[in-house]
Structure 1
Amino acid sequence: MAKKKTRPEPEELELPPVGVESHAHLDLEDFDGDREAILERARKTGISHLINVFLGPDAYERGHPLFTAHPEVSFLLGVHPNSADQLTGESLARMRTFFKADPRLKGVGEIGLDYYWERVDHATQKTAFVRQLALARELALPVVIHSRDADADTLDLLTANGFCDYPVLWHCFGQGLELARSVIDNGWHVSIPGPVTYKKTDDLQAAVARIPLERMLLETDCPFLAPEPWRGKRNHPALMAFTAKRVAEIRGRSLEDIWQITGDNARRFFNL
């Protein structure tokens, strides 16, 4: 009988406590059974700060008390494009109130366009996107973008609404050099997720080789998109260490350098 393969654990990489997980969904029910343990594992792996993303005002109101005892967790709040039809004047007003009351809310996101699932018509998605961009500018907060199969329209709306050289982060970047150049040329940042570790992501890896390190952050988007060697399992913040390891290999830098640089970038971007 073949011996079961043992996967390495992220704590084994012995990273310094300077990493920043820039995009997690730890409020989801996937973590209801072990959220505290997951946060402790992140700390032990060298993550000093996490950004939890709340998908709408109801999710924020329900979920932010989960992190009362964890000052290392900051928040994003935005209505996802797949729920764009739920953005009303009332929900936008609630979001504005929450942002003004809670200094742990560090940006508007994830917002944007999603033409993959086609759950909401494109016109409604665009309207919700533009309304939330206006809220971000009103509050002078960074924007975190979700774009899936909609990159041309996402770029067009950002530039048409005057967001060149504004603090914009392209979340879960998974494309190649062409999109990376457009993002960087507009003065924006990219966040690299677990798929950079996968074998058939040559375009993404080529982009990671060329993206300026000062514009790069790391994320898990957990519980989704776990990196190798944990692909197919529930993702969680500590596993971001393996994403950093692959980025370090692509860039020919030490793992510790990438961990420090991307963490510093996140601290500056979100004013942590």
Structure 2
Amino acid sequence: MGKKKNRPLPQSLGLPRTGMDAHAHLDAAEFDEDLDEVLVRARESGLAGVATVFLGPDPYLAGVSRFARHKDVVFLMGLHPEDAGTVKFEDIPRMEQLFRKDARLRALGEIGLDYYWDATLKDRQQQLFREQLELARHLELPVAIHSRDAEEDTLAILLDMGFHDYPLQWHCFGQSRDLALELLSHGWHLSIPGTVTYKKNIRLMEAVRAIPLDRMFVETDCPYLAADPYRGKRNEPALVVFTAQKIAEIKDLPVEEVWTACGKNALRFFGVESEGKDRGHCEDMV
């Protein structure tokens, strides 16, 4: 039998409660048994908030009640590009109604383009992307972008629709320094996942070195992509502390500085901090 790996607990970093997991999937089946415990660990590890994603109106309606007691969780909702072939005509109008009813729905996402598995639905993906961008602008909501093997088309659509300098999170950024600089030039935020901790991911480390702290989020994308030393295990919001720790190492900064800066960016982006744009009650979120 192999030797059991001794992994540090995320609480052991002793970070202040100033961080935020900017992108999670807490409605996933992997959290059916212990969601409450997962969120307790998140708070104990220094998280002031978690942004969890619902991939359409049906998942939202099926899962939102699980978070009734967890006021530090805010929501995104959007139709994922991989679902472009099965989206129903009424899904976008239904989403608009739900956004207007629930102040905890803070952003439209994750939306975008994904040509990784199947590029045959490019036209439908692009149409769905444009329709949701229009909805976001109509509702004056931030957007969270999913783009895989489709960066050129994603950028072209965003710029064609006038989203330069629009509140935008480029979710799960894992590309090059050059692309990072391009996205930054449009005023957007880049959300860094746990893959930055993987030893061979030199390209992302070089990109992170070039991204200023005031334009950066940290995210888990849980239950996927757990940071080292939990790689291969179920990911959860508490483990985002190890992503911040790696970014601090790359930038030669104190981890508390990175943690608080990235958290402040995300809290503001999702309207958790009161800056005249909060659609809910700030005191309920912390």
TM norm. shorter chain > 0.5: yes
| Aligned-partner Cα distance in 1 for 2:227–2:147 | 20
Q: Give the CA deviation at 1:119.
A: 7.2
Q: Give the CA deviation at 1:85.
A: 2.4
| Aligned-partner Cα distance in 2 for 1:48–1:270 | 12
The answer as to whether partners of 1:84 and 1:120 remain within 8 angstroms in 2 is no
Q: Does 1:143 pair with 2:136?
A: no
Aligned AA for 1:165? D
Aligned AA for 1:7? R
**For the aligned residues, what is the CA RMSD?**
1.1
The match for 1:250 is 250
The match for 2:79 is 79
Q: Give the CA deviation at 1:7.
A: 1.0
Correspondences of 1:87-236 after superposition (within 5 Å): 87-118=87-118, 121-236=121-236
The answer as to whether partners of 1:82 and 1:119 remain within 8 angstroms in 2 is no
| Aligned-partner Cα distance in 2 for 1:151–1:4 | 40
Structure 1, gaps ≥5 residues long: none
| Aligned-partner Cα distance in 2 for 1:97–1:2 | 53
**2:92 alignment partner, SS class:** helix
| Aligned-partner Cα distance in 2 for 1:110–1:4 | 37
Aligned AA for 1:211? I
The match for 1:266 is 266
Aligned AA for 1:148? R
Aligned AA for 1:92? I
TM-score norm. by structure 2 comes to 0.93
Q: Give the CA deviation at 1:88.
A: 3.4
Farther-moved stretch of structure 1 (219-228 vs 176-185): 176-185
| Aligned-partner Cα distance in 2 for 1:237–1:5 | 21
The answer as to whether partners of 1:81 and 1:120 remain within 8 angstroms in 2 is no
Farther-moved stretch of structure 1 (86-95 vs 48-57): 86-95
Farther-moved stretch of structure 1 (144-153 vs 82-91): 82-91
Q: Percent identity?
A: 52
Farther-moved stretch of structure 1 (114-123 vs 174-183): 114-123
Aligned AA for 1:5? K
| Aligned-partner Cα distance in 2 for 1:66–1:119 | 35
Q: Give the CA deviation at 1:2.
A: 6.4
The answer as to whether partners of 1:193 and 1:220 remain within 8 angstroms in 2 is yes
Q: Give the CA deviation at 1:120.
A: 5.9
Aligned AA for 1:204? L
The match for 1:69 is 69
The match for 2:281 is none
| Aligned-partner Cα distance in 2 for 1:176–1:119 | 22
The match for 1:56 is 56
The match for 2:276 is none
| Aligned-partner Cα distance in 2 for 1:201–1:37 | 31
**2:84 alignment partner, SS class:** helix
Structure 2, gaps ≥5 residues long: 273-286
Q: Give the CA deviation at 1:153.
A: 0.5
CA deviation map 1:33-65 (0-9, x unaligned): 111110110011010100010001100011111
The answer as to whether partners of 1:83 and 1:120 remain within 8 angstroms in 2 is no
Aligned AA for 1:10? P
**1:190 alignment partner, SS class:** strand
TM-score norm. by structure 1 comes to 0.98
Correspondences of 1:10-25 after superposition (within 5 Å): 10-25=10-25
| Aligned-partner Cα distance in 1 for 2:135–2:190 | 21
Aligned AA for 1:137? R
